[in-house]
Amino acid sequence: MSRIGKKAVQVPAGVTATVDGQKVTAKGPKGELFFVANDEIKLGFENNSVSVAPVSQTKDARSKWGMSRTMIENIFKGVKDGFERKLEINGVGYRASLQGKNLQLQLGFSHDVVYEAPQGITIAVPKPTEIVISGINKQQVGQVAAEIREYRGPEPYKGKGVKYAEERIVRKEGKKK
């Protein structure tokens, strides 16, 4: 039994939700998102909350049960508050700047890396060594952060590169004579 899936998802104040068959649509102050559940999942809407249940007790249906509830909860959070991911840049001469909507990164290459932000994502650079990625879709925010980090991931000897703000780099000891 899914402990997460058993709980109904409460619709937050300021968000309107509709359930139409296998599709859950949420409208809020930040925008509109939807989630289409698998056919092995049954959705219900009552008392301003969305309930999720498996159609049968097969392993496949039960494995999608908790994930479906979490996805519905994420679209409610996204349209109400949005999601944010922070990246930090460490290294001499490594920095970021904005050119219009594009992010320009100087990461020690012979050329600058220009990252074009996809639609629905906002990139801010409060400091030259800090990048803030925000949007209403949690998966898209995480994907953009991973793509930017991929240009120059943190290395274990000096800690140089692009890392998540909450990430801890395990440092290695260098060569000994």
| Tokens 């102050």, located at residue | 29
pTM for this predicted structure: 0.88
* Measured distance CA(131)–CA(50) in Å, rounded: 35
Tell me the pLDDT tens digit for each residue of 87-118: 999 999 999 999 988 999 999 999 999 999 99
Domain 3-80 CATH class label: alpha beta
Tell me the pLDDT tens digit for each residue of 120-164: 999 999 999 999 999 999 999 999 999 999 999 999 999 899 999
All residues at 6 or more sequence positions from 82 whose CB lies less than 8 Å from its CB, including other chains:
30, 134, 135, 136
- Domains 3-80 and 83-164 alike in fold: yes
Query: Looking at domain 83-164, what is its CATH homologous superfamily?
Result: Ribosomal protein L6 (3.90.930.12)
* Measured distance CA(26)–CA(33) in Å, rounded: 5
**Residue ranges of domains in the chain:** 3-80, 83-164
